Homo-oligomer: A and B are copies of this chain.
């Protein structure tokens, strides 16, 4: 993997770059869609390739349990297995293990506690984390080494070291302990990776929760190691302003010459606020999940497909949109499909929203090239 900066904005930290991977180019800044199980929900990967989505995020946790890394290895890797020609990034599996155990920040803040999805952490030790499979209840040991070995079998273009996702409500001492272990885990992950690079790049995950000093410490520790890029993970704060403030302090400590990634954030407002801070890639299930809920993204804002006024809207969702959905179907038809609870609605809405994201990021890159952002 190589990274090239085409233009540094004169107005902000925003930059336009290009990541070269074995499966093609990722123009940055860019949006990364989430295909947890090796597919975007309600879409097939050939269609996704044709939309021009340059990077897809797949979850090692889910793929570890189903179909398992051995099946994917025998298939010739994730790209061949899932019929995708363009780049893929996988995470370590840690995020899901811990977020299923602790619940997400939102769950915590709403006192929803741990999700009852059957994911269950049995033991966290220096070695790694032992959890029960949500599929069959069998115990699975995830260590820096087994995570990287799994990610070698999957064969994504970009992989991620094992980290711990501490709960949002954690004392400073515990956060420190967690961070230090995460650093050791990431270092072990890197060492395992460097035994056999296999044409993959590895991004570190900068942690430290909402503590600025720990974030600084994490950036210092990790950027001293030969990672290919840097992701930002862990608790980013309770609110968007908190997140933005944290990133403002952190981003100057992240090497400009390497690509970076903001984990799990990619809603429209966050993109607008974080691209000027110099973030290169963002992953989020927001546009596809919104699509399945009938929220269609347009330059004039979100359109709720099921709204009564759309029953007779015989034009496309957005005038001039060149996506498959807008080329072939009207908003009135989508309205009807949502009303009739047809799965086809989810597919057509997802195609549109994903296409919207691809075009939106192109507009961001153009704006940066012109120093407008």
Contact = CB atoms under 8 A, between A and B. Distances in A.
A340 B66 contact: yes
A346 B348 contact: no
Contacts of A329: 44, 82-83
Contacts of A336: 37-38, 66-67, 71, 81
A356 interface: no
A308 to B, nearest CB: 11
A302 to B, nearest CB: 22
Interface string A16-53: 00000000000000000000011111111110000000
B312 A347 contact: no
A46 B41 CA distance: 19
Interface in A325-373: 328-330, 332-333, 335-337, 339-340, 342-344, 346-348
Contacts of A221: none
Contacts of A311: 67, 71
A42 B343 contact: yes
B343 A343 contact: yes
A210 to B, nearest CB: 34
Main secondary structure of the interface of A (DSSP, over half): helix
Interface residues of A, number: 40
Contacts of A339: 66-67
B66 A328 contact: no
A286 to B, nearest CB: 18
Given A37-B337, A71-B336, A312-B74, A347 B83 contact: no
A188 interface: no
A330 B81 contact: yes
B39 A81 contact: no
A82 B333 CA distance: 6
A71 B41 contact: no
Nearest to A346: B343
A83 B41 contact: no
Nearest to A344: B39
A324 B335 CA distance: 27
A350 B38 CA distance: 19
Contact of A324 (B46, B66, B81, B333): B46
A75 interface: yes
Nearest to A37: B340
Interface string A41-84: 11111100000000000000010001100010011100001110
A95 to B, nearest CB: 18
Nearest to A314: B75
Contacts of A46: 324, 328
A335 B67 CA distance: 9
Interface string A313-330: 010000000001000111
Given A81-B330, A314-B74, A333-B83, A344 B67 contact: no
Contact of A328 (B44, B328, B347): B44
B42 A347 contact: yes
23 contacts: A37-B336, A37-B337, A37-B342, A38-B333, A38-B336, A42-B347, A44-B329, A44-B347, A45-B328, A62-B340, A66-B336, A66-B339, A66-B340, A71-B312, A71-B332, A71-B336, A74-B314, A75-B330, A75-B333, A76-B314, A81-B332, A82-B329, A82-B333
- Which 4 pairs, one residue from A and one from B, show the smallest C-beta to C-beta distance? A37-B340, A67-B336, A39-B344, A42-B343
Interface of A: 37-46, 62, 66-67, 71, 74-76, 81-83, 311-312, 314, 324, 328-330, 332-333, 335-337, 339-340, 342-344, 346-348
